[in-house]
Structure 1
Amino acid sequence: MKKLAVLCLLALNAGVLLAQEHQMSKNYQAPADPLVQQKLSQWQDLKFGLFMHWGTYSQWGVVESWSICPEDEGWTQRKGPYGETYNGYVKAYENLQTTFNPTRFNPEKWVAAAKRAGMKYVVFTTKHHDGFSMFDTKQTDYKITSAKTPFSANPRSNVTKEIFNAFRKENFMIGAYFSKPDWHSPDYWWPYFPPKDRNVNYDPAMHPDKWQKFKDFTYNQISELMTDYGKVDILWLDGGWVRPKSTIDTAVDWQRGIKFNQDIDMPRIAAMGRAKQPGLIVVDRTVAGEFENYTTPEQQVPGVPLDHPWETCITMGDSWSYVPNDHYKSAQQIVQLLVKIVSRGGNLLLNIGPGPDGDWDPVAYSRLAQVSGWMETNGEGIYGSQSVAPYSTGDIFYTKAKNSNTLYAFLMAGKDSTVKFEPTVTIKLNNIKAVKGVSLLGQKQKLKYKLKGDELIVSLPAPIQHNTGYQYAATFKITY
């Protein structure tokens, strides 16, 4: 993942971000395949997904992959007895494979918690930049199912398959995160040269045979994921520096550092993926064009709706990967992030990093349980909704139900997490001349109201004014 880039943001209170710079593509090209269009529309209605970064690095409690990248020593420093030399550190890092044994791995427990919280899809890191495969690939022995890895003896050692199967049984859409760069592959970081930064460490134009080997390796690994792991809905490709040189945006700092053409033949990969998984959504992050079917702003919420499908990926804690005693966002922060994102027409992909034992921090379960109570009452204003002007006014955020004359206005709670009701609430409307009814989700009674121009003034009876049971946000339902 990548570090926060500055856009027009709403307040996130996101905390420390252990990541690299990421910016959205400026141009969007809608997919031409009708099956992809249909799947993309279904995905947009889901609104709330689970992201998981997990690998051998969880044993050290360090940021995923980046500590072995020479370019990034400044913000993810190598520590401990192995940090004296770069090569010594990388050797120790890769040797984590021989001790990785997450015996508490139980994906059904994750599914239950995510489902209760109202999540509808999952994206799992099948392989991050360090190249360690969390699936039973035949292309390398640097994988969780290798005999070198203690967990390989476990009947559930192919964790990607187990996770996908468990979530699919509960009707989640399935997303496979896959890193295009592979810092373990000798055909990406060729041992003949030392690695200099995140990019390939040789010129592919001067060594086309070696680059072709890497392209085939990448294609074959993705083909395995598209063939042997059941129905897959999303191929979520990270590592946007692996891209055709013609697509580099020199206005973006990290893209200016891409010196070579790193074209891995996305048309070939996407065609294969969709032949095996019809309607597959492909997300080639930051590489604008036909293979970035939705964009992925990271740790941020655009201040205005975007004109295309999008998803923001945000950490529940401060880190993408497991860190002991991480600081987790409150349930209020999570709910209000979800409301803000959905009011702008996007999806929230919330990340939780499993620990080295194969389970989440208990705090993560607690947060999802708290969110679940709110979603049970207010979810109808989230799922299958669209952004609608004026999007937000003060502490009120708006959504509209698809194909319906129904609006939802979310009144946010303050710092103490409880919604404070005044005798009247003023809700801004946009070009609505008549209102049929107003209610508060969680209450059966209809509310009295007046429509004055573009302002809907809702009167709240005393029992609602004094009701302290509304946490995080209260939702007014308006039909017109």
Structure 2
Amino acid sequence: MTTNDKKYTVARTTYCKRLIPGFMIVKVKGGASMTEETSRGDIESTKEKEWTAADFSQLPEHAQLEKNWTWFQNQKIGVLLHWGLYAQAGIVESWELSDADRWARQPKAWRPNMTQLKQDYWGLAQQFAPTHYDPAAWAAVFKNAGIRYAIFTTKHHDGFNMYHTQYSDYHADADLFGAFAQAMTQAGIGVGAYYSKADWHHPDYWRPDGTPKNRGIDFDRHQDPERWQRYVTFVHHQLTELAANYGPLRMLWLDAGWVGDAREPLALDQIIPALWQKQPQMLAVDRTMGGRFEQYVTPERQVPDIQNRPVLPWESNIPLANNWGYTPGDTYKSIGEIIRTILQVVTLGGNIVLGVGPKPDGTLPAPASRLLHQLGGWLALNGQGIYNTRPVAAAAIAAARRQGYAITQDDRAYYLFPLASVPPQTLDLHALHLPDTQPIVTRLGWQGQPFPVKAQHVVRLPGSLRQSLHPGLRIAKV
């Protein structure tokens, strides 16, 4: 099975709960990575302008962008919090509101008809009361997990604002993003702001007239340019609030890939450069749009193919469970799956952001907390081979894979991680074709002696090592 997009392969196969015939067919290469469903309709693949690093080199923000890219590529692991009224409902984010997105209401809709569904969903704002929200506790969990940056959903497509905005009365009682940003910054975790460019609650995007809607605007902007301009101004005001009021932001993560210059232009060239005056370290991520304001690429629920990696810095975003937001009884991935997918992403030079859906009371789901705790234990031993690393040449990646390993490097060493749950018994250094190495192989996170290397440059790994979960190996550079 193959995708229409040749760049990416879905992380692994699974039973599809919401399969819609003909929606998406996936191809799996190499196995041993994270589960992803094939039936979701929320994965946008629009690319209006495909840019390379050379295109950015001509822009006035290029020097700062190079610094921002370096910071980003050193971090490797982030977390993405989808949290809003959909947690109160326990449904797949806010997608059920879109009449055209029938996939989100399968196998059973939240309400029996769309009129009642929308009425009840908009009314959730009166019930949403996250009385146990403790962002400092979240920050402690993320810090211990080895998370380097955290992206918070300030507003999903439903238009419910998780921060205090002057431009809408449809928001949480407390400034939830403000408390989050402060806690993360104090913990030394980079802060990102997710913001949906669509707003299904705003009357200049969707009229509250009871007519069926798709995910885009419900009018012809050419016939009513004043209405569209009001919405553009509203978005600009909100983006200005986020950049002005919440301390240093590392990324502005713009979602809703159907909102772009071809169909719903937001004049980002008039607002984002102004935001950079306040936030020069902020990466603009106009997801799936390409061009000047997609400064890094975000393959969703996917690991790129080795030969077709994005030319720009990139970040695979994959939820710990099946859904981004909290749904009761959701299926979570295993720690082995998570680590294997991290290895597959990092060996190709990417970052990974792990999706977590907080509960409506403001706590993190217990399965997510457990997985993050386990991840932190693994990174405490093996993080040297993950953070601040860069990819090796494609031929060396392929050579390592043939032996069952993922490989990374920094200025001092190469790092290899077995991809299988049971590591190989040997490592053939010569077959890796790494000319600048010393025959000194040690285990990450341990102070023991180097493993003996035979004359043929083959290392036999001890049985105790093969009982560990994806143990990292370090090969010194000359």
Q: TM-score range by the shorter chain?
A: 0.7 to 0.9
AA of the residue aligned to 1:381: G
CA distance in 1, matches of 2:437, 2:36: 43
Say if 2:334 is the partner of 1:336: no
- 1:430 is matched with 433
**Larger displacement relative to structure 2 (187-196 or 345-354):** 187-196
| Equivalent residue number for residue 237 of structure 1 | 254
Determine the structure 1 residue equivalent to 2:72: 43
- Give SS of 2:296's match: coil
Alignment of 1:289-304 (within 5 A): 289-304=291-306
Shift of residue 9 of structure 1? Answer: 5.1
Q: Which amino acid aligns with 1:319?
A: N
User: 1:351: Cα distance to partner?
Assistant: 0.6
2:469 alignment partner in structure 1: 471
Change (3 A) 1:4 1:10: farther
Deviation at 1:81, TM superposition (A): 7.9
Q: Which amino acid aligns with 2:469?
A: Q
Matched, 1:381 2:403: no
The 8 Å contact of residues 57 and 63 in structure 1, kept in 2 or not, is answered as: yes
Aligned to 1:167: 184
Q: Deviations over 1:268-309 (max 9, x none)?
A: 121121011113200001111111000000111112143320
SS at 1:317's partner residue? coil
**Match of 2:112?**
83
Partner Cα separation in structure 1 for residue 226 and residue 387 of structure 2:
48
> 2:417, 2:470 within 8 Å by CA — same for their partners in 1?
no
In structure 2, the residue corresponding to 1:22 is in which secondary structure? coil
> Conserved in 2, the CA contact under 8 Å of 1:4 and 1:22?
no
Aligned to 1:27: 50
Q: What whole-Å deviation, never above 9, does each CA across 1:374-411 have from its counterpart, x for those lacking one?
A: 1011000000111113224142011011xx14111111
Instruction: Quickly say closer, same or farther: Cα 1:81–1:172, change in 2 above 3 A.
Output: closer
**CA apart distance, 1:82:** 3.7
Q: State whether structure 2 residue 65 is matched by structure 1 residue 62.
A: no
Q: What does residue 124 of structure 2 align with?
A: 96
Q: Does the CA-based 8 Å contact 1:10-1:303 persist in structure 2?
A: no
**Number of the residue aligned with 1:255:** none
Q: State the shift of 1:436 in Å.
A: 4.9
Q: Any idea what SS the aligned residue of 1:184 has?
A: coil
Residues 322 and 353, structure 1, Cα contact 8 Å, conserved in 2: yes
**1:470 corresponds to which letter in structure 2?**
S
Runs of at least 4 residues off by over 6 Å: none
Q: How far is 1:69 from its partner?
A: 0.2
- Structure 2 spans left out of the alignment, 5+ residues: 1-22
SS of 1:449's equivalent? Answer: coil
Q: How does 1:313-324 map to 2 (within 5 A)?
A: 313-324=317-328
Matches within 5 A, 1:413-428: 413-414=420-421, 419-420=422-423, 422=425, 424-427=426-429, 428=431
Determine the structure 1 residue equivalent to 2:102.
Answer: 73
Contact 2:380 2:445 in 1 (8 A): no
Give 3-state SS (helix, strand or coil) of 1:74's partner.
Answer: helix
CA 285–181 in structure 1, closer or farther in 2 if over 3 Å, else same: same
Q: What value does the CA root-mean-square deviation take over the aligned residues?
A: 2.2
Contact 2:92 2:104 in 1 (8 A): no
After TM superposition, list the pairs within 5 Å mapping 1:68-147 onto structure 2. Answer: 68-77=97-106, 82-84=111-113, 86-144=114-172
Percent of pairs with identical residues = 33
Indicate if the aligned counterparts of 2:73 and 2:351 stay in contact, CA closer than 8 A. yes
- State TM-score, norm by structure 2: 0.86
- Tell me how far apart the structure 2 counterparts of residues 162 and 108 of structure 1 sit (CA, whole Å): 9
Q: Match of 1:276?
A: 278
Question: How many residue pairs align between the two structures?
Answer: 438
TM-superposed CA distance for 1:215, in Å, is: 0.2
Return the alpha-carbon distance in structure 2 between the equivalents of residues 119 and 458 of structure 1.
32
Shift of 1:476: 3.5
> What is the one-letter code of the residue matched to 2:360?
P
Determine helix, strand or coil for the equivalent of 1:369.
helix
1:399 to 408, 425, 434: 408
1:474 CA displacement: 3.4
Counterpart AA for 1:426: D
Equivalent-residue separation in structure 1 for 2:455 and 2:315 (angstroms): 35
Partner of 2:35: 14
Provide the secondary structure at the position in 2 that maps to 1:309.
Answer: coil
Q: Judging changes above 3 Å, is the alpha-carbon distance between structure 1 residues 421 and 436 closer, same or farther for their aligned structure 2 residues?
A: closer
How far has the Cα of 1:79 moved from its partner? 5.1
Kindly indicate whether the alpha-carbon contact (under 8 Å) linking 1:311 and 1:349 is maintained by their aligned counterparts in 2.
Answer: yes
**2:438–2:475 Cα contact (<8 Å) kept:** no
Q: Which runs of 5+ in 1 are unaligned?
A: 145-151, 246-260
1:208-242 residue CA offsets vs partner (Å, 9 max, x unmatched): 11000000000001111011111111000000111
- 1:364 matches 2:362: no
Q: Does 1:411 align with 2:418?
A: yes
Contact 1:243 1:263 in 2 (8 A): yes
User: Contact 1:421–1:466 (CA<8 Å) still a contact in 2?
Assistant: no
Q: How many angstroms apart in 1 are the aligned matches of 2:108 and 2:468?
A: 46
Further displaced range: 230-239 or 24-33: 24-33
CA distance in 1, matches of 2:259, 2:177: 24
Q: Residues of 1 paired with 2:469 and 2:386: CA distance?
A: 16
Partner residue, 1:254: none
Report what 1:308 is aligned to: 312
What is the DSSP-based 3-state SS (H/G/I as helix, E as strand, rest coil) of the residue aligned with 2:161?
A: coil
Deviation at 1:37, TM superposition (A): 1.9
Change (3 A) 1:476 1:60: same
Aligned residue for 1:286, secondary structure, equals coil
Q: How does 1:445-464 map to 2 (within 5 A)?
A: 445-450=449-454, 456-460=457-461, 464=462
Q: 2:229 aligns to what?
A: 212
Name the CA distance, whole Å, in 1 between partners of 2:189 and 2:221: 39
